[in-house]
Structure 1
Amino acid sequence: MKNIKFILSLFLLGLFVFSCREDHTEPVYNGDSFLHFNEGVVRSEFVQIGTASKDVVISYGTIKPVVGSHQVKLVVDPVKTTAVAGTDYEIIKGTDELTNGEVSGTFTVRLKEPVDPALTKSLVFKIESSTIATGVFDNEFTLNWKLQCLIADFMGAFGGFNYTGYWQAPGQYLIEEVPNTPNTLRIVDFLEIGFDLIVSYNDAGVVTFEPQDTGYFHPTYGQTVKIRMSQSNMPGHGNSTIDMCARKLTLIANYYVTQGSFGNKVETFTGF
């Protein structure tokens, strides 16, 4: 009898657990759709010299599909924006329509070619709709842009650059493009005679380079000094950069031997 009661208790317990599992449902969000910028809230762009303008697409979204049709507007914040409408930018598509079941859309802004290469233009946007609430998150979007010159502008007529820095005495050096290697330059005989420094750059103006021998044999340490990019665990760390328009290459380099480093050093090349 005790065994029968025990088995019956287990059976009833199993039914209870099973019924609980059957009745359980995952929580479902039933709140507002909430508009927000869905591909980051800050973007930096370049408008290449001689192109007049560049069209940029700005994406937005909702946290759940919308029901019905809704008009969404891209609105410029006049207080935070430094760019001038018509002169610096043009809104090509500032209104978008979200239809039933959609969760995202886009706007289009035309960035005009800046006249002054030293200035950064800035646009700050809000997103609005009379039928969909705007979220308290990612509700502001900043678009910055500068003039992007070409490598020919950087090189100038002869590729000559004035140098100041740590490794050598102030002087002049020739910078050349490396044949058949895109976005790569060499600073001829900078490290030592016969030892060019090879560097690469990207469209954002960030410069990188692999560890290289300088060609200089250090008598105290009994080995050749090497050069590498700036080390983050040392003072003066930062990115090396190239400004095509200003014809300026700034390297933050770290010279080292097996026993240790000589620290992060700034090397500057300015076109003449």
Structure 2
Amino acid sequence: MKNIKFIVSLFLLGLFVFSCREDHTEPVYNGESYVHFNEGVVKSEFVQIGTASKDVVISYGTIKPVVGSHQVKLVVDPVKSTAVAGTDYEIINGTDEITNGEVAGTFTIRMKEPAVPGVTKTLVLKLESSTISTAVFDNEFTLNWKLQCLINNFLGTGTFNYAGWFNGTGQHMIEEVPGQPNTLRIIDFPTIGTNFVFTYDEAGLVSFEPQDTGEFHPTYNQNIMLRMSQSNFANHGNSTIDMCARKLNLRVNYYVSAGSFGNQPETFTGF
């Protein structure tokens, strides 16, 4: 009898849970679709020297699938933009059609190769549609780009003028490290017989591992070491490389076991 009552109780409990699930409904958004940029609102690009141009795809979307067909336009804000149509960019497709059930679309912009190194072109864009309202968020997109020179442009003859904290002034050769992508070395720096090795990325940021300078400090009875700029010292900042300007700006922290000599500037300029 107890077993029968137990089975009946489980059955009734199951019916109760099932009926609760059946009655429960998730909240559903029934508002407008609202169009907006859906893959971030800022994009920074480079156009490689000698390539003339580079195409970039800009994506947009809606909060929910649209009903029917709608035309969405990409509109340039001429006040906030520094890039000039025809000279700096070309809109390959500035009008897109999003159809029934879709939630996203794309535009294509051709960024032209900047004539002046170091100058950033800026294009501020907005979305416009006569049938879909624009969302109050992600409704403005900023596209930035500048000229990207190659490592051969930076190296030139390989000879660079030096000015800095460790050695004052001089000249040094800079060359690629064979078999190591995005890696360079400064010959006989900081001291003769030592080569300073560093890496760089597409954005021009330089990084390096702690290294021995080869300079013996008699007070501490050890060689002076170097490392990247340390945030707990004055003059903290990033080390950078400008391929077009042929300039390497290092921010180096020299140290021994007893302490640091601080963050020091070391600059190499090609000629």
Tell me the TM-score normalised to structure 1 length.
0.89
Q: CA deviation at 1:21?
A: 5.0
Q: CA deviation at 1:45?
A: 1.0
Helix, strand or coil at the partner of 2:147: strand
Q: Which amino acid aligns with 2:196?
A: L
Q: CA deviation at 1:22?
A: 4.2
Distance 1:207 1:131 in 2: 49
For 1:192, the equivalent position in structure 2 comes to 191
For 1:123, the equivalent position in structure 2 comes to 123
For 2:258, the equivalent position in structure 1 comes to 259
Q: Which amino acid aligns with 1:195?
A: T
Q: CA deviation at 1:187?
A: 0.4
Q: Which amino acid aligns with 2:115?
A: V
Distance 1:119 1:32 in 2: 41
Q: Deviations over 1:209-268 (max 9, x none)?
A: 111111122222232222111223333222211111100011112122233322222211
Distance 1:86 1:59 in 2: 22
For 1:141, the equivalent position in structure 2 comes to 141
- Do structure 1's residue 169 and structure 2's residue 168 form an aligned pair? yes
For 1:53, the equivalent position in structure 2 comes to 53
Call closer, same or farther: CA 1:260–1:25 in 2, change over 3 Å: farther
For 1:99, the equivalent position in structure 2 comes to 99
For 2:244, the equivalent position in structure 1 comes to 245
For 2:151, the equivalent position in structure 1 comes to 151
Distance 1:254 1:42 in 2: 33
Call closer, same or farther: CA 1:20–1:56 in 2, change over 3 Å: same
For 1:7, the equivalent position in structure 2 comes to none
- RMSD in angstroms over aligned alpha carbons? 2.1
For 1:226, the equivalent position in structure 2 comes to 225
- Which shifted more, 221-230 or 120-129? 221-230
Distance 2:137 2:226 in 1: 44
Distance 1:259 1:90 in 2: 58
Helix, strand or coil at the partner of 2:28: coil
Helix, strand or coil at the partner of 1:73: strand
For 2:8, the equivalent position in structure 1 comes to none
For 1:23, the equivalent position in structure 2 comes to 23
Q: Which amino acid aligns with 1:148?
A: Q
Helix, strand or coil at the partner of 1:153: helix
Q: Deviations over 1:172-230 (max 9, x none)?
A: 11111111222111000112111111011112211111111111222222322221112
Q: CA deviation at 1:143?
A: 0.8
Q: Deviations over 1:15-40 (max 9, x none)?
A: 88875554222222222222221221
For 1:84, the equivalent position in structure 2 comes to 84
Call closer, same or farther: CA 1:14–1:118 in 2, change over 3 Å: closer
Q: Deviations over 1:94-126 (max 9, x none)?
A: 111111222211110011111111311110000
Q: CA deviation at 1:271?
A: 0.6
- Which shifted more, 59-68 or 170-179? 59-68
Distance 2:221 2:253 in 1: 19
Identity rate, percent: 76
Gaps of 5+ in 1: 1-10
How many residue pairs match? The answer is 263
Distance 2:141 2:110 in 1: 15
Distance 1:215 1:96 in 2: 62
- Which shifted more, 235-244 or 183-192? 235-244
Distance 2:266 2:57 in 1: 37
Gaps of 5+ in 2: 1-10
Call closer, same or farther: CA 1:97–1:194 in 2, change over 3 Å: same
Q: Which amino acid aligns with 1:56?
A: V
For 2:37, the equivalent position in structure 1 comes to 37
Distance 2:47 2:69 in 1: 35
Call closer, same or farther: CA 1:12–1:226 in 2, change over 3 Å: same
